[in-house]
Chain A
Amino acid sequence: MARSLDSSHVGSAEKGEWPKPLKAEACELSFYYGSRLVLKRVSVPIAQGNITALIGPSGCGKSTFLRCFNRMHDLYPGTRYEGAILLYPEGRNILDRQVDPIEVRMRLAMVFQKPNPFPKSVYENVAYGLRVRGVRDRRVLDEKVEQALRSAALWEEVKDRLSALGTSLSGGQQQRLCIARALATDPELLLLDEPTSALDPIATGNIEELLQDLKRRVTILIVTHNMQQAARISDWTAFMYLGELVEFGPTKRLFTTPTNKQTEDYITGRFG
């Protein structure tokens, strides 16, 4: 499983440790569940074409942070955002009340902690986002579905049973199906919320490898509670604790020479 880290970020790291160009940027993002403040002025840049990992102990707010990007919290009453998430290239604040969350979600895609294929065929699962976007042409659908399944390294396994229920696949296949579903609409930013926590080591390895291939095409923001995973696959790492950003930097640097004592304690396994 040993994989050398992409060294491309090291150059940018030396220039002040701030990635460039950016796909998105959280600026002083605070978030409330009712009156409870769960994110405290978190600022994290998301580098284009890179994998950014969010790490931290359970309950540190990393998933909450991720779910701000596609306004998932809008589904639940009593939630409130403060601050901004700028989505580039146009740099608009997607948390703005005037921005339609559906429009935001059309540009982003998300993969959840537990595989959640719809109770539809493999084909229809992948085609779902396209259908929602009004694509009717069978040829376009066929082509996109195949492409997405290939990108998710699932095509060979399911090409003969595209009409089987998505829920009939194995756990690892289901999660790759969910990744295919997310990729079918060519998202600009792929959000992954602990995508391998429900999977066995082999399936986890497959998906990590897959993410390495994907980052050439799509910017990835991944939440993981597995530090080794963050170290293996990400270019940038943000360490969060108790709703605050403790440290952000190039993965290699953050894991070898953390500047913050808390970060050091966490990555050396002293807590969390």
Chain B
Amino acid sequence: MKGRTVLVPEQGTAGSSKPLLVEGEGRRRVRRIRELVIEGGLLVAALVSVATTTMILAVLVVESLGFFDTVSLYDFLTDTLWTPLFDDPHYGILPLLAGTIVTSMVGLLVAIPIGTVSAMYLSEFASPRVREIIKPVLELLGAVPTVVYGYFALLVVTPALQWIWPDLPGFNMLGPGIVIGIMILPLVISLSEDAMRAVPMMLREGSYAMGATHLETAWRVVVPAATSGIVAAYVLGISRAVGETMVVAIAAGQNPNLTWNPMEPAATITAYIVQVALGDLPHGSIGYRSIFAAGLVLAMMTFTFNILGHVMRKRFREVY
């Protein structure tokens, strides 16, 4: 509190209209300058992240332009082969895109049902005590390094699946897809739970007053009221799944393969980028540039989903 100007009359001066301390003109100017400097500093700090994002996008676009000098956009989008490093190179993004979509879909098929039900349980049914235990554990799940998840997919989940389907290859999209689902589960649960808890109590009371049970209230009133928030959680989950790298690079195999069958091995966009970025490609070669083109596609996908997700999250906040 030192140095703060006190305008309230001190004891003993009560009744007098003049405040005990009146700030001088000089002090006021110093304070104003100090505020401006601090504010400017904060602005610069905030701009760093904005600038970084912009630069990344710029690099992606510029390097991709070099790529598209050699490869036509039409071939990029329609060719069914992705073999940029072969003697007979093909640059069709479709096999990588298919790999990304399949692994993400498997992940969502795991994360959406489990995530929604878990969020509903945590928000509507769990006692505060149970919630206190489960929530930190969920956050722990989010703290596991992705490389660990990758080996988990390769060495635990896939062998377990092979026990059910003996023909399943050691590298496949199903195992990593399931693990991606587990990875995005904390995100989906915590965002959906936020959305459900934001539903005002008076709506629940209205439902109970009509004779509804706990489950009916949760399912017919709370979940519909939280829909946009829950969908936003899914969308942000998709964004995370699409961008997931380590798990698929380790456990899905790294050969681009245009297939929609999750039982087959395939490479995703991210897995390809890892594979190529770790190799020793000459700077400026077409193979080197191809990772920027692939990266641009990926960035556009995740940006779209992120923006969509945040717009929806904002919308549900405005309902009440």
Contacts and interface: CB of A to CB of B under 8 A. Distances in A.
A116 B217 CA distance: 14
Contact of B205 (A108, A116, A128, A181): A116
A129 interface: yes
Interface of A: 70, 72, 75, 102, 105-106, 108-110, 112, 114, 116-120, 128-129, 131-133, 167, 178, 181-182, 185
Given A75-B205, A112-B202, A116-B205, A129 B210 contact: yes
B206 A178 contact: yes
Contact of B204 (A75, A114, A181): A75
B319 A70 contact: no
B209 A128 contact: no
A178 B203 CA distance: 11
A114 B203 CA distance: 10
A116 B206 contact: yes
Interface of B: 200, 202-213, 216, 220-221, 224-225, 227, 319
Contacts of B319: 119, 167
B206 A118 contact: yes
Contacts of B202: 112, 114, 116
Contacts of A129: 210-211
Given A109-B210, A182-B209, 12 more contacts: A72-B208, A75-B208, A102-B212, A105-B209, A112-B205, A112-B206, A118-B207, A118-B224, A120-B224, A132-B216, A133-B211, A185-B210
B211 A102 contact: yes
B210 A128 contact: yes
Contacts of B227: 119
A164 B319 CA distance: 15
Contact of B210 (A75, A120, A167, A181): A181
A108 to B, nearest CB: 8
A102 B213 contact: yes
27 contacts: A70-B209, A72-B209, A75-B208, A105-B208, A105-B211, A109-B209, A110-B209, A112-B205, A112-B206, A112-B209, A116-B203, A116-B205, A116-B206, A119-B221, A119-B224, A120-B224, A128-B210, A128-B212, A129-B211, A131-B220, A132-B210, A132-B213, A132-B216, A133-B211, A167-B319, A181-B210, A185-B211
B221 A118 contact: yes
B203 A106 contact: no
6 closest pairs, A vs B, by CB? A110-B209, A106-B211, A129-B210, A105-B211, A116-B206, A116-B202
Contacts of A182: 209-210
B49 to A, nearest CB: 36
Q: Which of B210, B212, B213, B216 has its CB near the most chain A CB atoms (within 10 A)?
A: B210
A149 to B, nearest CB: 16
Contacts of A117: 206
A72 B213 CA distance: 13
A72 B205 contact: yes
Contacts of A181: 206, 210
Contacts of A108: 209
Nearest to A128: B210
Nearest to B227: A119
B206 A132 contact: no
A72 B211 CA distance: 11
A72 B224 CA distance: 22
B179 to A, nearest CB: 35
A128 B220 contact: yes
A27 to B, nearest CB: 23
A132 B211 contact: yes
A216 to B, nearest CB: 23
Given A118-B225, A119-B319, A132 B212 contact: yes
A48 to B, nearest CB: 21
Contacts of B210: 105, 109, 128-129, 132, 181-182, 185
Contacts of B207: 118, 128
Contacts of B224: 118-120
Contacts of A118: 203, 206-207, 220-221, 224-225
A182 B208 CA distance: 12
Contacts of A102: 211-213
